[in-house]
Amino acid sequence: MDRLQDKAFGLLSEQFGGSLVESVVEQVAQLPVEVPSWGFGRGGTRFGTFRTGKEAKTVTGRIKAAGQFRALTGKGQTVAIHIPWDGEKKTEIGALAKLLKKAGVKAGSINCNLFTPRKRGPLDARLRFGSLTNPVDAVRKASVQHNLDCIDIMRRLGSDTLVLWLPDGTNSPGQLSLYDQADLLETSLRAICRKLRKGEKILVEYKYFEPGMYATAIQDYGRSRSLCRMLGPKAKVLLDLGHHAPTTNVEHVVALLVRGGDLGGFHFNDHAYADDDLATGSLNPGQLFRIMCNLVEGERRGFGDVRTLALMIDQSHNIKDPLTELVESLTNIETAYAKALLVDGAALRKAQLACDASRGDAILRDAFLTDVRPLLAKARAMAV
């Protein structure tokens, strides 16, 4: 098998040139990919969670599994942490820091939770009326405070990134004025951002519906971008691949965000219908390839290094083994990235400027149909 792979690698070098192929291997090996601690547990739907008994159930188990992922793949250098699922009290965060160190991984983004009612305090069942946009002062203030606490935890764990996914939204026009919703959101976000120091950032995720079924407070990339621009350079847009309406051209969104300097990172997954959180690239590898093409083009045009983006996986593992499915997703991300790096960008641009769409598409197809597995095997060996 190794000999066959060496042969295939030689053929790729002949086809694309040795130096390009070597540089693709290096860039794939160096691509940092963050995995979520919650992703190592069993996912569920509103109908239930089907545990096999083998998946991680505790924070200790999840971080241990993240260590396994790191050892197997050389990736998962950072692990996204969820507060309070992975701990909240001082002693719990101290223990979490030790677990991360023992597993050979670092804390990645710190994710707040504004959707689970707490047993004590103002964040009770009234959270169904919103968190940062809740019309009740006490609930809204406690929601802001939770984010400020998350920033403290972020610093204690040596991370610099706070991720905000806001579940706020309404179910009917009489529930809350859309003007009040926008006002409350902006005031709350400003209060959170004021606490961020130089070198720290907040990534603002958007989603067009659910749990609110009528008017979500941060419903699309335009709203997220306008909020981030209002908040200043510490705030950037987080693009979750599953958070768009069907037929949205996601790579177009990517290009516009990169071009505007607004993109902070990704939540990678795949979907057929809504926010399905399926394995990245498992249904639509073509879309993932086109997204990577636009990231690579953005970098070539001087809009910043792909590796400075927060490249995170965010999935729910309902059927397959979580660790296995995360490796599948990582492989699909690396495959799409490698293929995008193989695109002859100069020839493509020449064809585009000459109005030769057939030639342009043929250039993209050549890269997309290339079997990059021999290249990924070398990159994996280099990363581990």
Q: Give me the residue whose beta carbon is nearest to Mn ion.
A: 267
β-pair partners for 313: 268
Min CB(35)–Mn ion separation in Å? 13
**Measured from the CB of residue 170, what is the shortest distance to Mn ion in angstroms?**
21
Q: Return the range that interacts with Mn ion (CB under 5 A); candidates 156-164, 260-268, 282-290, 324-332.
A: 260-268
Q: Where are the alpha helices (DSSP H) in 39-163?
A: 59-73, 90-103, 137-156
Total residues at interface with Mn ion (CB under 5 A): 3
Q: What are phi and psi of 92, to 5 degrees?
A: -65, -40
Of 86 and 314, nearer to Mn ion (C-beta) is: 314
Exposed (0-12), middle (13-18) or buried (19+): which is 17, by Cβ within 10 Å? exposed
List residues bridging with 80 in a β-sheet. 36
> Which part of the chain contacts Mn ion (CB under 5 A), choosing from 59-67, 172-180, 182-190, 239-247?
239-247
Q: How far is the CB of 88 from Mn ion (least distance, A)?
A: 20
- The residue (of 34 and 314) whose beta carbon lies closer to Mn ion is 314
Task: Give the separation between CA 353 and CA 30, rounded to whole angstroms.
Answer: 32
Considering the complex, state which of residue 140 and residue 207 has its C-beta at the smaller distance from Mn ion. Answer: 207
Minimum CB distance to Mn ion, residue 165 (Å): 6
- Contact segment (CB under 5 A) with Mn ion among 136-144, 149-157, 237-245, 363-371 equals 237-245
Smallest distance from Mn ion to CB 222, Å: 18
**Site residues (CB under 5 A) for Mn ion, limited to 23-52:** none
Q: What does DSSP assign to residue 133? A: T
Task: For Mn ion, give the closer residue by CB, 36 or 374.
Answer: 36
CB closer to Mn ion out of 167 and 298: 167
Q: Which stretch binds Mn ion (CB under 5 A): 262-270, 295-303, 333-341, 357-365?
A: 262-270
Q: Rule CB under 5 A: which of 266-325 touch Mn ion?
A: 267, 314
**Burial of 62: CB neighbours in 10 Å, binned 0-12, 13-18, 19+:** buried
Q: How far is the CB of 156 from Mn ion (least distance, A)?
A: 23
**Cα gap 354→356, rounded to integer Å:** 5
Q: Is 357 exposed, middle or buried (0-12, 13-18, 19+ CB in 10 A)?
A: exposed
Q: Per-residue contact track with Mn ion, 81 to 120, x per CB under 5 A?
A: ----------------------------------------
Considering only residues 177 to 236 of the shown chain, the ones binding Mn ion according to CB under 5 A are none
Residue 181 or 315 with smaller CB distance to Mn ion = 315
Minimum distance between the CB of residue 41 and Mn ion, rounded to whole angstroms?
Answer: 15
End-to-end CA distance of the chain: 20
For Mn ion, the binding residue among 168, 240, 251, 262 (CB under 5 A) is 240
Measured CA to CA, the distance from residue 45 to residue 60 in angstroms comes to 23
Considering only residues 344 to 373 of the shown chain, the ones binding Mn ion according to CB under 5 A are none
Residue 133 vs 315, nearer CB to Mn ion: 315
Q: At its nearest, how many Å lie between Mn ion and the CB of residue 111?
A: 9
Nearer to Mn ion, 168 or 240 (CB): 240
At 285, give phi and psi (nearest 5°).
Answer: -65, -25
Choice between 42 and 271, CB closer to Mn ion: 271
From the CB of 314, what's the least distance to Mn ion, in Å? Answer: 4
CB 330 within 8 A of CB 281: no
- Closest CB to Mn ion among residues 86, 240: 240
What's the rounded Cα separation, in Å, for the pair 309 and 258? 10
| Three-state secondary structure of 89-117 | CHHHHHHHHHHHHHHCCEEEEEECCCCCC
β pairing state of 161-164 and 201-205: parallel
The two three-digit tokens of residue 292, written as one number:
């990577």
Check if the beta carbon of residue 344 is closer than 8 Å to that of residue 17: no
Cα–Cα distances (Å) from 51 to 57, 314, 374, in that order, read 9, 19, 35
Q: Element (H or E) spanning 164, and its range?
A: strand 161-164
Considering the complex, what minimum distance in angstroms separates the CB of residue 154 from Mn ion? 18
Residues that bind Mn ion in the complex, under the rule CB under 5 A: 240, 267, 314
